[in-house]
């Protein structure tokens, strides 16, 4: 079912230029959009794609207004990417999928679990004893919510997520490992989205806590007793080791690692593939990685890095015997 451009602007606002009766059949990227599709320009560096785009209408920022008008119909807004997000929400509202049972017949829900009447549970899910699922939360297929864990309202949990498996806790005993029973749970706030096959371990003693509005991508590992502050977002394959505390409004790039027992302040941004080895007390953008290179060159550079400590000590000795360069000057 197509949407008239006028109905989109009426619902979401924006400065519109063009044919209000144009029927939009799909949302699409700039480079592949057709005259029946709506797209957006989120960054000026892609303006060459805007010039060449065949999209029926493009959402742009005021800075791109004249360029967009020269091309054709457009909607001018202060935040094109956010506006496009709202368009996707509107599109889904106007194109609902087939009606499904609130609780799939194959789901297993313990009699002592509490699932709000306005929540939905998909196929082959397991909700264990004492677990609680809040209103308007959607649990998709093959999700497991462990014993005593709680999920807030309006959450979206994608297929394969495991909430409340045991954390990785073992004590050494005469060359073997003795299991430390994980006695805590997992508490997830409201408006949280958790991507496919992400695992959130239950706490050893205290609960693992995921704050309101947190967004977790696919294949993320959250260790036991971790605390994640409100509205923090993590990209795919991030690993957070046990007892780390991550502040609110942080972002952690794909493949990054946060070591255990560290604390990250609010508004900390970690680059992809970084390894966070120390606590970070100040907001900002942090990167910790070794740049990719030809393997032979990388090995030589890595070997040099291993010598930095001894080189530093040699320099200290030289400075102490000859005087520092600034002293000589």
pLDDT at site 289: 81
**What's the pLDDT score for residue 324?**
57
Strand 23-24 to strand 57-60: parallel, antiparallel, or no bridges (unpaired)?
unpaired
pLDDT in the model for residue 327: 57
Q: Considering 86, 95, 158, 224, which one is annotated as catalytic?
A: 224
Indicate if 224 belongs to the active site: yes
Token pair for 281: 């007390």
CA distance 48 to 84: 19
Q: Could you report the average pLDDT of every consecutive run of 10 residues in the chain (329 residues)?
A: 94 97 96 97 91 96 96 97 97 88 97 98 98 98 98 98 97 97 98 98 97 98 98 98 98 98 98 95 92 87 88 90 62
């Amino acid at each position: 079912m197509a949407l008239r451009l006028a109905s989109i602007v009426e619902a979401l606002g924006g400065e519109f230029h063009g044919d209000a009766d144009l029927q939009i059949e799909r949302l699409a990227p700039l480079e592949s959009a057709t005259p029946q599709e709506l797209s957006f320009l989120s960054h000026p560096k892609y303006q060459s794609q805007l010039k060449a785009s065949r999209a029926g209408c493009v959402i742009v920022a005021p800075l791109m207004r004249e360029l967009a008008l020269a091309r054709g119909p457009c909607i001018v807004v202060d935040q094109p990417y956010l506006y496009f997000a709202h368009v996707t929400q509107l599109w889904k509202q106007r194109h609902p999928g087939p009606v499904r049972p609130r609780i799939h017949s194959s789901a297993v829900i313990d009699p002592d679990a509490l699932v709000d009447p306005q929540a939905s549970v998909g196929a082959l899910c397991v909700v264990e004893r004492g677990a609680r699922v809040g209103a308007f939360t959607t649990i998709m297929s093959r999700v497991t919510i462990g014993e005593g864990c709680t999920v807030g309202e309006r959450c979206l949990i994608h297929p394969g997520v495991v909430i409340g498996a045991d954390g990785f806790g073992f004590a050494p005993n005469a060359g073997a490992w003795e299991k430390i029973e994980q006695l805590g749970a997992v508490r997830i706030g409201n408006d949280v989205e958790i991507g496919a096959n992400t695992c959130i371990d239950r706490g050893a003693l205290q609960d693992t806590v995921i704050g309101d509005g947190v967004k977790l991508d696919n294949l993320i590992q959250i260790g036991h007793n971790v605390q994640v502050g409100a509205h923090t977002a993590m990209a795919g394959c991030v690993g957070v080791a046990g007892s780390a505390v991550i502040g609110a409004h942080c972002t952690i790039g794909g493949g990054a690692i946060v070591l255990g027992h560290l604390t990250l302040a609010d508004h900390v941004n970690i680059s992809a593939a970084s390894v966070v080895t120390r606590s970070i007390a100040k907001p900002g953008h942090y990167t910790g990685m070794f740049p990719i290179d030809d393997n032979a060159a990388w090995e030589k550079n890595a070997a040099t890095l291993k010598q930095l400590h001894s080189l530093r000590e040699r320099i200290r000795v030289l400075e102490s015997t000859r005087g520092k360069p600034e002293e000589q000057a």
